[in-house]
Amino acid sequence: MVVNYLVKTITCLAICACFIAPVRAESACTGWIAVESDPTGFCALRLDGKRVAYQTPVTLKNIPCGRHSLEISKPFCSDVRKSVLVTREDITRVQLSMKSAAGSLELISHPAGARIELDGKAKGKTPLYFSQLKSGIHLLRLRLADHRTLTREIRVSTGKKTQLDLKLKPAFGEIQVRVEPEEEVMVLLDDDPVGSPPMSLKRIPSGPHVIKVVGAHYRPFTTTVTVRDGQVSDVVAQLKPHYGTLMLRKLPTGSQIYVDSKATARVLDRNLLAMRLVPGTHRLKVIAPDSAYAPYERLVKINLLEKQSLTPKLQIRTGGLMIDTTPYAATVMVNGKEVGKAPLSIPKLKVGNHTVVVQAKGYASQRRRVQIKDGQVSSLDIRL
């Protein structure tokens, strides 16, 4: 019985071995692929869609038996795909020939200096020459300040030079501003002062802008102008007066005029001074160049577009002078003019410095300088 058991066991193991051995041999079926290319060197080699090498020639080892897809790509060359059959413990040799797929591109723009984007990647600024660029369709973008972005699909042909001379459209225009009547006013562009008209505002970004014209004696003028690419927009501001005229007559030359405590004008001609003032009540003050005159002040009411004439009467400030002399009854002269015999009282002399000369027969004359102050009496006692 023992013998029979051993015989049966050996027989069973032999049968199992017959089935297992073929399976193990089939799962170990592999081969190699020897790849050469023209041109050789750096590339992207893919086997069944997966990258397996970065340059040729190369040997791909332990590749499962069967049919595989081999693909090679190289910059500026056409992609090549080939079906390869791998057999057990064999070397399959593959030669892949790639054709050139590149051209050149010369890119010029007007104006120059535009930033270049090619297929979404920054490449520099115009003008620019690409000695090698992959053949086919590329997406080109040119960007330049104050200009519209230019977007274009370009085709590069194999072995050919493509020349592009592109003109960028301005994204700005010009605004010319004039006023009627011509007056000294200020122009504001979008609330920023830019100067006095007539004027030309250049390189203004396209789109709506607010032009305002303001002046001391005119109502503000406001308008919205739409600037268009490369075009000139004209603005003529019709100014509406917002003032009346005050005419001052017969003032001492050099007098300073103040309106509402602000220095406004200086009298150059004593016959007439005309001033424009906004309608309303103003405080007028006149200060003569001669300190002997008291300042003149009053309120004046100005009406729109009306003329008002005023002759300010400046009051002379005075003081007194009393003179006594030895000998008695000497002759007194003030500023070269005889005024009487001493003792003498002069009640009203203009404020300021005066020259007094005293003379008597048989005596040497004497000269004195005296300052007269407003509302005060000065005195001189002169002995010859």
CATH for 318-383?
2.60.40.10
Superfamily of domain 27-97: Immunoglobulins (2.60.40.10)
103 C-beta neighbours (distance < 10 Å), count: 21
Kind and range of the H or E run holding 143 = strand 136-143
Superfamily holding 172-238: Immunoglobulins (2.60.40.10)
SS3 27: helix
- For the chain, the structural domain boundaries read 27-97, 102-167, 172-238, 244-310, 318-383
137 near 186, Cβ under 8 Å? Answer: no
CATH number listed for the domain at residues 102-167 = 2.60.40.10
Q: What is the pLDDT along the chain (384 residues), one digit of tens a residue?
A: 333 443 344 444 444 344 444 444 456 899 999 999 998 888 899 999 999 999 999 999 999 999 999 999 988 888 899 999 999 989 999 999 988 889 999 999 999 999 999 999 999 999 999 999 999 999 999 999 999 999 999 999 999 999 999 999 999 999 999 999 998 999 999 999 999 999 999 999 999 999 999 998 999 999 999 999 999 999 999 999 999 999 999 888 889 999 999 998 888 876 788 999 999 999 999 999 888 889 999 999 999 999 999 999 888 899 999 999 999 999 999 999 999 999 999 998 989 899 999 999 999 999 999 999 988 999 999 998
Q: What own/partner pairs with CB < 8 Å and gap ≥ 24 does 224-230 have? A: 225/175, 227/172, 227/173, 227/174, 227/175, 228/173, 229/148, 229/169, 229/170, 229/171, 229/172, 229/173, 230/169, 230/170, 230/172, 230/173
Q: Which residue has the tokens 């190699």?
A: 32
Name which CATH class applies to 244-310: mainly beta
Q: What is the amino acid identity at position 31?
A: G
Distance (Å) of CA 84 to CA 81, 89, 332 = 10, 15, 140
CB atoms within 10 A of CB 158: 15
pTM of the predicted model, to two decimals?
0.61
